[in-house]
């Protein structure tokens, strides 16, 4: 059975059991401080499990794009080495939100596997939670055991410990006992030798877990205790690629039709052969796996970058490039060429790949290009580290520097060193790495106390689209501590006018006023599991009071102004540059806005002007806000709104229209475009290949911008003696400056010529060498010219010049090539040695080298020592 069919049969099976088929949530998670990537099918349903939101459909089925490369579930370093781990994978899942529980979950899973997919019953094993004697003191899952006993011989039921059979999403959150289903795909001969039961959960590549049925019934609190969830749920996750392996009768995920087309393409491009030698196999698997993770992330709007999720993506891509570079000898970008076959194999199930193919190819190619350059530079740097090494062991800190500053991978460093007969001081490297980790960990570590709940079962309401001030009550609060922010309180209210950070827009600030007039400032507002959380430095004295919650109006207005301008900018770009322009990122602050979009060349000055004029015309047109809340998605799309890739939309959406600009948006906006006053683009540039970024300002920020510019202009005029035409005055100053520069250059040349004559006369004969060591008054470039001029016709000249420029010292050593060879002299080594007198260092070639240092006082001594080299 083809993988496409396996996927659709899974979905159909549960659809027939009245489940609603929903689409995969984005793999890259935005607006959730607790998670960067979807790492399990249940992430998008977290709020239903916790009871924060009620699910509209209590039975759901889907295939979810997952990425396990950070946090609690991280498989990155395994990938490629075995045949069944992946960074990105699909998790097939059926869900019950307070609906059916263990009985149906178990019997349907069995029915699907054995009746629909016709997997041989005797090759299946199931596990049941054995209970735990630790502080949780959990009982064995008798209910699951009894249910399994009805359908499978007891010899195929195994007990599992907490690690394998109690599923927890993270340190906190929903959790519960689980039953895993494992399949043994070994040959009959192998099976006769060792029973599959002995190999379950033993990392055997042919006895693998394919499905995990989790019975969610607890919530793990911050203090480590378990509490019962308000209702019981089912969360199942089946590894799609493993299921395909079983169904297609192959021994490795990489031999299924999910991967083989990609592997064939890698073989074609690189001339490598899969299944020939283990290093090549690992490299090919790494590349085949990683291109999927990277392509899907870019399709979700996450570009490789230097921070956060973007950095994780960059590291994955670089890991693949490096395996190619080292084991497949790929010295040119090649991974971008795999996007085509990936799109052909998965584009039907995931149309985002098809639609964004060109962009994905461009971004991957550009990344490959720049990393290959880094690798080249790294090789040169590593060369110089090796050349200047005083022993056969290379300092781990130096290797760390290469890794940290230049992104040069450590395993490559180790490999090259061993090829050259050196070893790496791994302890030094690990220590440097650990120090850095400690530094960044302690800066980002956050500890959270448990919620103190004041109002049970209170539903939260956001009223901030309509009012900026309202009376509220505290539902719950908790203390959080981090190095960066210190101690803070998180507050949840029954009703709130505060907008939580989201959709690129910053969270509101403001204050709470108690009945006695006490004030607590709200520093930021964010969303977590669909709850609006307010951050405050202090807790109000009387937490059960009724408070007046007031949003900072000024900041809100400025932010709204930038948000509306962002919509107009989006419209303008599609109008001026073309409809290929798509939003790729947006940040709306009170002081500025930033908009990333797809476009393949620089936006010209004329186009930028046109865009600005377009937006300003709509601001002057005083277009009113037309807002529709809670309308069905289809209605919004029919009205002309565009859904963005990588964005998660609910069943109903909010539509924002200003004239012809129509967007799906949860942000806050001005009532009328006239409120924006004016729009000004401040910069345009590239973020990645095919992605441009515009930064712009509106309203008060534009006024400040013009006022500042005006002030600078006034200052310039004043400096130019109040010239009527300052531009003309500056141009004439530049012309004069150029003329003077040329004159000085000529004077210096003349001076050097004279100097050369004088110095040739000063040469001494020392042991048949024409020798001179002297301090001169020239800059380094002048000294270099002087040396080569003086030595032009000589074969036995040795010169050392010292000079002082801007308080710094330089030494330049010149040795005729013939002399250097005959006497085995090396100018580079000489200046390195003499450099210590001027407290510096340097290097160069055997016939010419320079050193720089911070102690001009040492020049005389260095010059004195020079003669020793030829005596």
Q: Rule CB under 6 A: which residues touch ligand SER?
A: 40-42, 93, 167, 212, 214, 235-237
Q: How far is the CB of 354 from ligand SER (least distance, A)?
A: 28
**DSSP assignment, residue 115?**
I
Q: Is 175 annotated as a binding residue?
A: no
Contact 204, 233 (CB under 8 A): no
First vs last C-alpha separation in the chain: 85
**Which helix (H) or strand (E) covers residue 59, if one does?**
strand 59-67
- The nearer residue to ligand SER, 171 or 725, going by C-beta atoms, is 171
Q: How far is the CB of 212 from ligand SER (least distance, A)?
A: 4
* CA separation for the pair 355, 346 (Å, rounded): 12
* CA separation for the pair 357, 345 (Å, rounded): 13
Q: How far is the CB of 95 from ligand SER (least distance, A)?
A: 9
* CA separation for the pair 42, 22 (Å, rounded): 13
Q: Buried b vs exposed e over 5-43: b needs ≥16 C-beta within 10 Å? A: ebbbebbebbeeeebeebebbbbbbbebebbbbbbbbbb
- The nearer residue to ligand SER, 235 or 612, going by C-beta atoms, is 235
Could you tell me which residues are beta bridge partners of residue 305?
Answer: none
- The nearer residue to ligand SER, 45 or 274, going by C-beta atoms, is 45
- The nearer residue to ligand SER, 84 or 814, going by C-beta atoms, is 84
3-state SS, one letter per residue, for 660-690: CEEEECCCCCCCEHHHHCCEEEEEEEEEECC
- The nearer residue to ligand SER, 109 or 851, going by C-beta atoms, is 109
- The nearer residue to ligand SER, 69 or 382, going by C-beta atoms, is 69
Q: How far is the CB of 214 from ligand SER (least distance, A)?
A: 5
Which residue of this chain has its Cβ atom nearest to ligand SER in the complex? Answer: 237
* CA separation for the pair 359, 207 (Å, rounded): 39
Q: In what order do the strands lie in the sheet with 661-664?
A: 626-632, 652-658, 661-664
Q: How far is the CB of 318 from ligand SER (least distance, A)?
A: 27
Q: By C-alpha distance, which of 246, 271, 106 is closest to 184?
A: 246
* CA separation for the pair 117, 110 (Å, rounded): 10
Q: Is 563 annotated as a binding residue?
A: yes
**Which helix (H) or strand (E) covers residue 262, if one does?**
helix 260-270
* CA separation for the pair 59, 45 (Å, rounded): 12
* CA separation for the pair 715, 710 (Å, rounded): 9
- The nearer residue to ligand SER, 176 or 585, going by C-beta atoms, is 176
- The nearer residue to ligand SER, 214 or 229, going by C-beta atoms, is 214
Q: How far is the CB of 36 from ligand SER (least distance, A)?
A: 16
- The nearer residue to ligand SER, 237 or 301, going by C-beta atoms, is 237
Contact 465, 238 (CB under 8 A): no
Could you tell me which residues are beta bridge partners of residue 574?
Answer: none
Q: How far is the CB of 4 from ligand SER (least distance, A)?
A: 22
Q: By C-alpha distance, which of 185, 341, 336 is closest to 257?
A: 341
Please work out, in degrees rounded to the nearest 5, the angle formed at the alpha carbon of residue 525 by the alpha carbons of 55 and 501.
Answer: 70
Q: Tokens standing for 534? A: 């307010």
- The nearer residue to ligand SER, 93 or 835, going by C-beta atoms, is 93
Q: Tokens standing for 137? A: 């003191």
Q: Is 567 annotated as a binding residue?
A: yes
Q: How far is the CB of 180 from ligand SER (least distance, A)?
A: 9
Q: Tokens standing for 99? A: 């609906």
Coil vs helix vs strand at 244: helix
* CA separation for the pair 14, 21 (Å, rounded): 8
Q: How far is the CB of 82 from ligand SER (least distance, A)?
A: 18
Q: Is 85 annotated as a binding residue?
A: no
Nearby residues of 180 by Cβ (< 8 Å), 6 or more positions away: 126, 127, 160, 164, 165, 201, 209, 211, 212, 213
Q: How far is the CB of 74 from ligand SER (least distance, A)?
A: 13
* CA separation for the pair 488, 500 (Å, rounded): 17
| CA-CA-CA-CA dihedral for 611, 617, 623, 629, to nearest 10 | 0
**DSSP assignment, residue 154?**
G
Q: What is the CA radius of gyration of the chain?
A: 34
- The nearer residue to ligand SER, 46 or 657, going by C-beta atoms, is 46
- The nearer residue to ligand SER, 235 or 352, going by C-beta atoms, is 235
**DSSP assignment, residue 140?**
P
- The nearer residue to ligand SER, 219 or 236, going by C-beta atoms, is 236
* CA separation for the pair 392, 417 (Å, rounded): 9
Coil vs helix vs strand at 142: helix
Strands 583-588 and 446-448, sheet pairing = unpaired
Contact 560, 590 (CB under 8 A): no
Phi, psi of 759 (to 5 degrees): -70, -35
Burial class (CB in 10 A: 0-12, 13-18, 19+), 242: buried
Q: How far is the CB of 178 from ligand SER (least distance, A)?
A: 7
Q: How far is the CB of 527 from ligand SER (least distance, A)?
A: 22
Residue keyed to tokens 């085509």: 340
- The nearer residue to ligand SER, 167 or 336, going by C-beta atoms, is 167
* CA separation for the pair 203, 217 (Å, rounded): 28
Q: How far is the CB of 301 from ligand SER (least distance, A)?
A: 24
- The nearer residue to ligand SER, 215 or 499, going by C-beta atoms, is 215
Q: How far is the CB of 42 from ligand SER (least distance, A)?
A: 5
Q: How far is the CB of 238 from ligand SER (least distance, A)?
A: 8
* CA separation for the pair 512, 46 (Å, rounded): 30
Annotated binding site: 563, 567, 665, 669
Tell me the binding residues for Zn(2+).
Answer: 563, 567, 665, 669
């Amino acid at each position: 059975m083809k993988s496409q069919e396996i996927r659709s049969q899974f979905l159909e099976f549960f659809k027939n059991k009245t489940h609603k088929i929903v689409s995969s949530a984005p793999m890259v998670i935005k607006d959730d401080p607790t998670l960067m990537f979807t790492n399990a099918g249940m992430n998008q349903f977290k709020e239903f499990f916790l009871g924060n939101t009620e699910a509209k459909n209590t039975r759901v089925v889907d295939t979810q794009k997952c990425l396990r490369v950070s946090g609690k579930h991280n498989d990155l370093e395994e990938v490629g080495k075995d045949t069944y781990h992946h960074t990105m994978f699909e998790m097939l899942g059926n869900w019950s939100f307070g609906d059916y529980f263990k009985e149906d979950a178990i019997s349907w899973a069995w029915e699907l596997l054995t009746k629909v997919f016709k997997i041989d019953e005797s090759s299946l094993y199931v596990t049941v939670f054995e209970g735990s004697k630790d502080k949780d003191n959990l009982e064995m899952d008798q209910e699951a055991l009894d249910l399994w006993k009805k359908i499978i011989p007891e010899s195929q039921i195994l007990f599992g410990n907490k690690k394998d059979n109690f599923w927890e999403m993270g340190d906190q959150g929903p959790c519960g006992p689980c039953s895993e289903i494992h399949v043994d795909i070994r040959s009959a001969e192998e099976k006769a030798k060792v029973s599959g039961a002995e190999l379950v959960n033993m990392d055997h590549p042919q006895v693998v877990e394919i499905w995990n049925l989790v019975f969610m019934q607890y919530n793990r609190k911050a203090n480590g205790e378990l509490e019962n969830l308000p209702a019981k749920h089912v969360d199942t996750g089946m590894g799609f690629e493993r299921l395909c392996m079983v169904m297609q009768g192959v021994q490795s995920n990489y031999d299924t039709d999910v991967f083989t087309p990609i592997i064939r393409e890698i073989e074609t491009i690189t001339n490598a052969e899969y299944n020939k030698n283990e290093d090549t196999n690992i490299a090919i698997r790494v590349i085949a796996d990683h291109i999927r993770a990277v392509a899907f992330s870019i399709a979700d709007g996450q570009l490789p970058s230097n921070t956060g999720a973007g950095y994780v993506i960059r590291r994955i891509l670089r890991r693949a490039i490096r395996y190619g570079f080292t084991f497949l000898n790929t010295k040119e970008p090649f991974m971008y060429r795999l996007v085509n076959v990936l799109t052909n194999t998965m584009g039907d199930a995931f149309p985002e790949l098809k639609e964004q193919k060109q962009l994905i190819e461009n971004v991957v190619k550009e990344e490959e290009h720049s990393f290959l350059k880094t690798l080249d530079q790294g090789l040169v740097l590593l060369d110089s580290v090796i050349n200047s090494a005083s022993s056969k062991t290379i300092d781990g800190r130096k290797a760390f520097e290469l890794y940290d500053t230049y992104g040069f991978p450590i395993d490559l460093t180790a490999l090259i060193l061993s090829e050259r007969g050196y070893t790496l001081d791994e302890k030094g490297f690990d220590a440097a790495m650990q120090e850095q980790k400690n530094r960044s960990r302690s800066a980002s570590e956050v500890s959270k106390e448990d919620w103190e709940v004041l109002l049970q079962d209170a539903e939260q309401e956001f009223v901030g689209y309509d009012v900026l001030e309202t009376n509220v009550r505290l539902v719950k609060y908790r203390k959080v501590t981090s190095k960066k922010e210190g101690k803070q309180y998180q507050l949840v209210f029954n009703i709130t006018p505060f907008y939580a950070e989201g959709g690129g827009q910053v969270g509101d600030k403001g204050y709470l006023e108690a009945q006695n007039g006490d004030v607590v400032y709200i520093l930021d507002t964010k969303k977590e599991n669909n709850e609006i959380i307010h951050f405050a430095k202090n807790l109000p004295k009387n937490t059960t009071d009724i408070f007046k919650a007031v949003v900072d109006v000024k900041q809100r207005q400025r932010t709204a102004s930038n948000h509306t301008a962002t919509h107009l900018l989006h419209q303008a770009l599609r109008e001026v540059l073309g409809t290929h322009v798509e939003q790729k990122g947006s940040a709306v602050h009170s002081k500025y806005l930033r908009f990333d979009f797809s476009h393949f060349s620089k936006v010209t000055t004329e186009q930028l002007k046109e865009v600005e004029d377009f937006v300003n015309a709509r601001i002057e047109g005083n277009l009113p806000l037309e807002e529709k809340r809670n309308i069905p998605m289809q209605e919004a799309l029919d009205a002309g709104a565009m859904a963005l890739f990588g964005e998660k939309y609910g069943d109903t959406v909010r539509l924002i229209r200003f004239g012809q600009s129509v967007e799906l948006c949860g942000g806050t906006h001005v009532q009328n475009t006239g409120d924006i006053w004016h729009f000004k683009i401040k910069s345009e540039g590239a973020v990645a290949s095919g992605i441009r970024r515009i930064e712009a300002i509106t309203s008060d920020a534009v006024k400040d911008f013009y006022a500042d510019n005006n002030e600078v202009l006034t200052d310039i005029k004043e400096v130019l003696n109040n010239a009527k035409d300052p531009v003309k005055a500056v141009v004439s100053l530049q012309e004069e400056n150029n003329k003077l520069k040329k004159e000085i250059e000529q004077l210096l040349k003349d001076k050097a010529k004279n100097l050369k004559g004088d110095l040739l006369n000063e040469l001494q004969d020392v042991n048949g060498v024409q020798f001179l060591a002297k301090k001169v008054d020239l800059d380094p470039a002048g000294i270099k010219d002087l040396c080569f001029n003086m030595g032009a016709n000589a074969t036995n000249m040795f010169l050392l010049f010292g000079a002082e420029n801007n308080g710094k010292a330089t030494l330049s050593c010149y040795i005729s090539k013939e002399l250097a060879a005959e006497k085995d002299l090396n100018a580079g080594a000489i200046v390195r040695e003499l450099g210590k007198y001027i407290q510096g260092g340097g290097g160069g070639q055997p016939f010419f080298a320079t050193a720089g240092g911070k102690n001009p006082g040492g020049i005389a001594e260095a010059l004195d020592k020079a003669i020793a080299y030829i005596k």
